Amino acid sequence: MDSSEKEPHFSEREEAIASMATIARTLSPPDIVSGEANLAHVNGNVTSTNPSHANGIATGPRTRKISSRYRHIAAVHSRAHTSCLSRGAHTRPSFLGFRNLMIIVLIVMNLRLVIENFMKYGVLICIRCHDYRRQDLLLGLVLYLLVPCHLFVAYIIELAAAHQAKGALGRAKRYSEDPRNSAQAANGFRTTWLTIAWAHGINATLSLLVTSLTVYNLIHHPLIGTISEVHAIIVWLKICSYAFTNRDLRHALLQPDYVSSIPELYSACPYPRNITLSNLSYFWWAPTLVYQPVYPRTSTIRWPFIAKRLAEASSLSIFIWLASAQYAAPLLHNSLFKIASLDLPSILERLMKLSTISLVIWLAGFFAVFQSALNALAEIMRFGDREFYTEWWNSPSVGTYWRTWNKPVYHFMKRHIYAPLVGRGWSPNAASACCFVFSGVLHELLVGVPTHNILGMFGSQISHNVVWSEK
């Protein structure tokens, strides 16, 4: 052997330990014997000072758990426990699995209804069966094009009011009179506001009245009628908000004591610089019913985001049409005889069936409008505040639900109806009743006019009597 290759030197003690390990490996199960040369036990762990060798050199210590020799005596019940569903459980259990199970059961049950519907009625979808009259399309287009005319009239009214306000302010400075202590200036402002309010009221109401009469008497397709009526109601609410907001801004211009009440956001476009056609046109398309001279804006437009939202809105609209034609329509048609015969058990059974498909259609419509369509419109307009709804599905009360599921309408009601009435000394209950009546009239127009069936939709809005005092 070459003298440069020396064998590793082992002491007598190490050789004895290695021999004992070899004997133990042959007599004992493999799980209680380590494969290393040197073993040390610390709290049930095995520490090896020579666990692995690379080219004859130890790489370092290694620790691993030793299994017990007696597997049948492990202490399974070592301390007191309570059932996870008991009141005294230490940790709150998660019901995510039950939720997933209920979703699966719900999907399976509705799939059964889908199969049953096709077996009973076949395919009821028919595109050519819809009565798209040329007259309905032309009238709907004319009603849509009339809206800019009423908006232009609102702009002219506010332009005249702003001119009058600037003239009054100039005269006050010229003659060094103080408008705050001038009863004549106060009376002049009140007279001007009454004239402007009447002009705005006639303009907005004429727009809504013409649309409602045209839809009710001349437009027979419910979808075209609904779109026209919804647009007219939205524009009517926007003109009202435009008039009320500019009235307060004009008052603050003439009464410097109230300038501090104006939000800091409005300083970027103070009154009367906001009275422009571009400002009003932006408000017309903005996804809000509350007018502000300035809105929070985004820096860029994300076109892929818009494409996704429009695809969602289109897909959900098709789904709503299919669900209504294939499932809701025949079920409603079969329910008419049961309702007419006052067969209470059958009426209850039909109502339960209708509630399922109605809920599905409502949820699809909610997502298509408030999540998809409004977000796409907000992205196009670079509208920053996109809280069109909050977590209404977690509402602890009916009042909270009505305040959270439709934020644009809630903001209009609170800002232009409830808060001004309470500020004038009305009780919260009386202001809430006024909001209830207003909401009922709007729903009557929205549902009764396009369907040519005004049968008291106002009464169905009892649940919409929001407790506005809970602010």
Q: What is the pLDDT of residues 398-433, one digit of tens each?
A: 888 888 889 999 999 999 999 999 989 899 889 988
Q: Which are the contacts of 177, defined by CB distance < 8 A and separation ≥ 6?
A: 171, 185
443: annotated active-site residue: yes
- The predicted structure's pLDDT at residue 119: 82
Q: Which two tokens stand for residue 326?
A: 């294939």
Q: For position 1, what pLDDT does the model report?
A: 47
Take residue 254 and report the two structure tokens written for it: 């003439």
pLDDT at 20: 60
Contact 361, 328 (CB under 8 A): yes
Q: What is the pLDDT of residue 245?
A: 93
Chain length of the chain: 471
Q: Catalytic one among 220, 231, 443, 464?
A: 443
How many C-alpha atoms does 61 have within 13 Å on its Cβ side? 8
Using CA atoms, how far apart are residues 36 and 25, in angstroms rounded to an integer?
A: 11
The type of residue at 66 is I
Q: How far apart are CA 48 and CA 62, in angstroms?
A: 6
pLDDT score recorded for residue 56:
46
Predicted confidence (pLDDT) per residue in 321-333, tens digit: 888 888 888 888 8
pLDDT at position 176 is 53
Torsional sign, CA 251, 256, 257, 259: positive
* Rounded average pLDDT per 10-residue block, the chain, 471 residues: 47 59 52 43 45 47 55 81 82 87 88 82 72 82 87 91 80 56 61 84 90 90 89 92 91 75 87 91 93 93 95 93 84 78 80 84 93 95 93 87 89 92 90 87 88 61 43 47
The alpha carbon of residue 458 and the mean position of all alpha carbons in its chain are separated, in whole angstroms, by 25
Name the 3-class secondary structure at 57: strand
Question: Structural domain boundaries of the chain?
Answer: 16-66, 104-266, 389-471
pLDDT of residue 371: 93
Name residue 54's beta-bridge partners.
57
Q: Is 41 helix (H, G, I), strand (E, B) or coil?
A: strand
